[in-house]
């Protein structure tokens, strides 16, 4: 065997060895499991918001980074403001938050107050003196196993009628009141919605909406749109 033939054989052997190595390396890589990256479901992470699309252009969505509460309201009521009560900490137990509307119309049936007004208070909330919060209702006495006639008695010295509602799985007491306002001596007829034990920002609150009987249809829709 001459030298040229030997070199040719060696070249062929080297090529075969290189090809075999590349082949088995490729097979091994292909057989190894590839880590799958799970897409992030942004819809699951995003907090739910009220859907106002079916109510038309005259309705606006309320959402605020300071609260998980969201709902739909009349655009004509203006912009919203979320704020904690101005009561000093020494004059209250717990706390209460308000959502007000910049252009809420003055209500002749409720002392010309600009309503609606939404408030949600901690379960232990109690004002200890003169404040921006009236005595309100005894939330602990709100027992939905009682009749509507019995629940109306939670508002003594008032000609009150109560209606029990269930909206989106939550129990609500809707109350039409008729009374003489102590400070002004004027007759007022507010419309109230009391919703106990709602979870907002991971904590439990009692929610109250006050308005005028003239706003009843709009407040019913606002209530139905609420997302916590």
Chain-centroid distance of CA 156 in Å reads 32
Looking at the structure of the chain, the number of domains it has is 2
Measured distance CA(69)–CA(56) in Å, rounded: 21
Both 7 and 27 in a single domain? yes
Which domain covers residue 99, as residue numbers? 48-225
Strands (E), 85-224: 92-93, 96-101, 106-107, 113-114, 117-122, 126-127, 161-167, 170-176, 179-180, 187-188, 191-200, 203-211
pTM for this one? 0.78
**pLDDT 10s digits, 84-107:** 999 999 999 999 999 999 999 999
Does residue 41 sit within a domain?
no
**pLDDT 10s digits, 151-163:** 999 999 899 999 9
Measured distance CA(190)–CA(185) in Å, rounded: 15
Does residue 43 sit within a domain?
no
Task: Give the pair of three-digit tokens for residue 202.
Answer: 């991971």
Does residue 194 sit within a domain?
yes
Measured distance CA(8)–CA(226) in Å, rounded: 85
Both 130 and 56 in a single domain? yes
């Amino acid at each position: 065997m001459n030298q040229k033939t030997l070199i040719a054989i060696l070249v062929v052997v080297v090529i075969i060895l290189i090809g075999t190595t590349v082949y088995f390396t490729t097979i091994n890589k292909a057989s190894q499991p590839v880590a799958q990256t799970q897409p992030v479901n942004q819809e699951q992470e995003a907090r739910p918001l009220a859907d106002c699309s079916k109510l038309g252009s005259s309705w606006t969505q309320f959402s605020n980074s300071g609260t998980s509460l969201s709902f739909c309201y009349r655009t004509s009521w203006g912009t919203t403001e979320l704020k904690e009560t101005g009561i000093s900490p020494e004059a209250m137990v717990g706390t209460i938050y308000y959502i007000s509307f910049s252009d809420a119309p003055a209500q002749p049936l409720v002392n010309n107050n600009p309503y609606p007004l939404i408030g949600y208070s901690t379960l232990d909330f109690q004002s200890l003196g003169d404040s921006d919060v009236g005595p309100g209702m005894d939330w602990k006495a709100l027992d939905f196993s009682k009749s509507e006639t019995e629940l109306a008695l939670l508002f003594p010295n008032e000609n009150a009628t109560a209606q029990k509602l269930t909206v989106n799985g939550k129990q609500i007491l809707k109350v039409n009141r008729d009374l003489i306002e102590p400070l002004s001596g004027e007759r007022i007829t507010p419309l109230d919605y009391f919703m106990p034990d709602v979870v907002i920002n991971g904590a439990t609150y009692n929610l109250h909406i006050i308005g005028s009987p003239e706003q009843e249809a709009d407040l019913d829709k606002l209530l139905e749109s609420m997302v916590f």
